[in-house]
Amino acid sequence: MEQIKKKFELTENAIEVLKRRYLKKNEEGIIIETPEELFTRVAYAIAQIDSLYGKSEKEVYKTREEFFELMTSLKFLPNSPTLMNAGTSLGQLSACFVLPVEDSMEGIFDAVKYAAIIHKSGGGTGFSFSRLRPKGDVVGSTKGVSSGPVSFMSVFDAATEAVKQGGRRRGANMGLLRVDHPDILEFITCKDDLTKFTNFNISVGLTEEFMRSVINDEEYDLVNPRSGKIVKRLKAKEVFDLIVHQAWKNGEPGIVFLDRINAANPTPSLGEIEATNPCGEQPLLPYESCNLGSINLAKMVKGNSVDWELLRDTVWKAVHFLDNVIDANKYPLPIIEKNTKANRKIGLGVMGWADMLIQLRIPYNSKEALSLAEEVMKFILNEGRLASQELAKQRGTFPNYEKSIYYGKMPLRNATITTIAPTGTLSIIAGCSSGIEPLFAICFVRNVMDGTKLIEVNPYFKKEMERLGIWSEALANKIAESGSIQGIKEIPEEIKRIFVTAHEVSPSDHVRMQAAFQRYVDNAVSKTVNLPNQATEEDVREVYLLAYRLGCKGVTVYRDGSRQGQVIQKGKTESPTLQINLKPRKRPEILSGVTRLMKTGCGNLYVTINKDKDGNLFEVFTNIGKAGGCAASQAEAIGRLISLALRSGIEPQEIVKQLKGISCHAPVWSGNGKITSCSDAIAKAIEAELRETKGGSLVNKDEITNNSEAAHYGACPECGSSLSYEEGCVICHSCGFTRCS
């Protein structure tokens, strides 16, 4: 394979992310590929598909150069599996899949097996559990009773935990249940427990009937999917309020408007859409996959206006690229290959939206921004369809075209064209803002490999400050404390209007931006509505209802800090407070417990966890084996402080969240997964003890949160930098770690 020799620029952060996650490595884990070679590999593999459609070798080479330039100019990037796997023996290029879960033991465990295969290949999976009979329902073959969909979700979660996608991409699932399923209340609250469903995002599938019942304060029917019979009626408003409460408490469940999604289903005769991919932006039929890619809008500006000609050229080349990916893909299952090629869905989206607005000097939270959002996305959709029509002339329409809503109206190569997907790591590579989100910070601290900390500054902001003659390193350090410039006197008000961050945009403006893009997106939009910590449940309710009124297909909210320690909300005017008793309990003469062996970079760490007579964690002792010195003294100090906290009434989950993910210079892998430091090992030992403890006062349902590595949204488990919650997922802007992309 001849390498295409062209110069291109990547930021230091982008190069680091490529090294960590994308560049090929040998069996010893040594990088054997440069960024140039990566893009050459991908361009070659994807362009080669043109030869299947009669293109000459010269024409294929031209396409290869176009695709290489498209990526290295950072005007467009395909989804992560394509960058990782194109031109490799694995060759699995799809980001997202939906699998059916049939109401039989065989169907359930087929789905578990298929999900494991997909996760191993680097994809994420979405499931609807709505076909499963409810808990307590009859099982005809055994005359027993069903355990219900929530119990079976645990099987999927455990399988995902076991696979973990080989380290480069983590297993991610979306679990969805219809709001009219009899087990809906159990589903809505299923992520209260710290130890459950750590590899799942969950969403409730809302129907038009349900939403009308909410608005009119009426009851609605719960229907047994096995028999089709109504088994109960609930007050819709009370169910809606429970969803709102849970989302306010810890960000889940999200909501998906199922009827609205199916109204846009391009092939309704083939069946109903029941589920989406893990971040909710890609509704798919059972056994479908989708290939995604994003245009960098930061590159689509010329002077003081949008460069429409460059955008048109980029859209056409990107549609060509993504259509080729469908044929270049090595699918994990034959039925997925069949269904994907029958509809040839692609998902062309955007990133760098906040950067485009900044360059055009348009505030994110303005009517002008909403108007431009519609104009840009309408242009991309229209040009994307024209490009798909041209491919249809050359290669034929998608095989199910005659069964589609487009038949006789618009010949298309692809059943869907546009999706706005998360771009967490892609936006780091491209050096731009994520998706259609506002900036997450103007300046932030980035941890580098040797443990030093660097201040990462938004390049557009730095340029403005230099233009005004007020730039300094001291200013950057000052801004990095909060990420915001709003309280800094020396910065002009006009600059403050333009450089707003996610938490400075009102919830309603977040929703309006999502809705503006959704009007011209075939599939759906991945976006997070950020709420301040002091937001009330009524604020969440207003977001959900506004999203419904404005035509969104779903919505995800995240209240800042809601997974760092549950607050007691006393109303809009009162500050939230933590309920903590700080008086240490006296130690009994006799306690019992367990000692766990944890492997660390400093050697074997023995963690002894003792409990009181009621089964509550009471104290922790550590022994670091032969390491001695500083490591032993620090481990002992941590144990003493943990013991003091436990005896003072601090919930053990809060201690775990503070210690888990802390990094040192010598991480190791063991049977307990990746151990990033001695602190991390102690946290995971406590967590393992919590997981094995059944019932008792260890589980305070109002205080518990998800225990995935990034769930506390504090330090990144891989590099120690701060995590943020964007586009329906946890993202580290420093190293590219993401829980569900």
So which residues are the catalytic ones? 277, 279, 281
**Phi and psi based region of residue 539 (left: phi greater than 0; alpha: psi -120 to 50; beta: remaining):** alpha
The secondary structure of residue 132, as a DSSP letter, is: S
* Secondary structure of 376-437 in HEC code, one letter for each residue: HHHHHHHHHHHHHHHHHHHHCCCCCHHHCCCCCCCCCCCCCCECECCCHHHHHHHCCCCCCC
Q: Which two tokens stand for residue 89?
A: 């023996």
Angle at 169 between CA 723 and CA 295, to 5 degrees: 75
CA pair distance 277, 95, nearest whole angstrom: 9
Strand, helix or coil at 664? coil
Q: Which two tokens stand for residue 59?
A: 């024409």
Residue 187, burial from CB neighbour count under 10 angstroms (0-12, 13-18, 19+): buried
Q: How many helices (H) and strands (E) does the chain have?
A: 23, 27
User: Do the beta carbons of residue 286 and residue 107 sit within 8 Å?
Assistant: no
CA pair distance 161, 170, nearest whole angstrom: 9
User: Do the beta carbons of residue 154 and residue 196 sit within 8 Å?
Assistant: yes
Q: Which two tokens stand for residue 599?
A: 């492997």
- Contact residues for 51 (Cβ-Cβ < 8 A; gap 6+): 57, 60
Strand partners, 222: 232
Instruction: Give the closest residue to 148 by CA, choosing from 140, 139, 159, 160.
Output: 139
Q: Count of residues for the chain?
A: 741
Element spanning 128, H or E: strand 124-128
CA pair distance 38, 285, nearest whole angstrom: 32
Q: Which amino acid is at 28?
A: E
CA pair distance 253, 246, nearest whole angstrom: 7
Angle at 275 between CA 407 and CA 291, to 5 degrees: 65
Phi and psi for 575 in degrees, rounded to 5?
-75, 145
CA pair distance 265, 523, nearest whole angstrom: 9
Strand partners, 456: 444
User: Do the beta carbons of residue 659 and residue 679 sit within 8 Å?
Assistant: yes
